[in-house]
Chains A and B, each alone.
Chain A
Amino acid sequence: EAGVAQSPRYKIIEKRQSVAFWCNPISGHATLYWYQQILGQGPKLLIQFQNNGVVDDSQLPKDRFSAERLKGVDSTLKIQPAKLEDSAVYLCASSLQVSGANVLTFGAGSRLTVL
C-alpha cells in the first residue's frame, strides 16, 4: 500500500514569513496526526484529527499554527508568522483507529528552516 505522502520535503523561509505543509494519509485511515520534531528530540504531537474533526489540539500554538482536514482525507498545516524556534521537521502520520493499540504510520516529514 502507498505510504503517507508529505510535501514539500524541505523549506527555507525567513522569520515572520508564512509556510504551508501538505499531507496525504494512507487510504482508509480515519485518524491523522501532525507532529513536530525538533533536532535531537522525539516527535511532539501538534494536532490529531479523526476524519475532519479535531480530537486533540492542546499543544498547537494557535496564535501562529493552524491545520485543517476539510474533506477528511488530505491535511494542511500552516505557520504564520514563523519564528526561529519553529525550525523542525513536521511529520504527518495516519492510523486506522482512534484509540487503543494504535500503530501510527509516518511520512518522511517536511524539514523547515527559519532564518
Chain B
Amino acid sequence: GESVGLHLPTLSVQEGDNSIINCAYSNSASDYFIWYKQESGKGPQFIIDIRSNMDKRQGQRVTVLLNKTVKHLSLQIAATQPGDSAVYFCAESGGTSYGKLTFGQGTILTVHP
C-alpha cells in the first residue's frame, strides 16, 4: 500500500536469505527504470536499470523484473548480506521527462546477521 512520511515499507530478512523489493509505477509512458540504494547519510547509489523492451535483467546478486501490464517493478537480491541494509528506491523516466528520474517512496531493507 501507499506510505506517507516516515512510514516507509520495511523488509526484514536473515543473512543469506533472498530479498524481494517491490515497486509500482503509474506512468504508462515510462520506458526506463532504475533501482538505487541509499545508506544513511549518503546519496543514492545506482544498482541496476532496465529498459521497457525487457522483462528481466541480471547483475551481480541482483535481478530486476519488469511487468508492464500491471506497472510493477521488483528487485531481487540473492544471498542478502548485512551490507545490503539500506533504503531502496525505484525510479522511472520516459515520455517527455528529458531524462529526469521520478522516484518512488522507498523500502527499508534490514538484514539480520
Contact = CB atoms under 8 A, between A and B. Distances in A.
Contacts of B32: 100-102
Contacts of B29: none
A105 B44 CA distance: 8
19 contacts: A4-B43, A31-B99, A39-B5, A40-B7, A40-B106, A42-B89, A42-B91, A45-B100, A45-B101, A48-B99, A55-B98, A56-B100, A91-B43, A97-B99, A99-B99, A102-B101, A104-B46, A106-B45, A109-B43
B105 A42 contact: yes
A104 B101 contact: yes
Contact of A43 (B7, B41, B103): B103
B34 A103 contact: yes
A41 B43 contact: no
- Consensus secondary structure, chain B interface: loop
Interface in B33-60: 34, 36, 41-46, 49, 51
Nearest to B108: A40
B102 interface: yes
Interface string A44-72: 11001000000110000000000000000
B43 A106 contact: yes
Main secondary structure on chain A at its contact with chain B?
Answer: loop
A94 to B, nearest CB: 11
B104 interface: yes
A42 B103 contact: yes
Contacts of A39: 5-6
Given A101-B49, A106-B45, A40 B103 contact: no
Contacts of B100: 33, 45, 48, 55-56
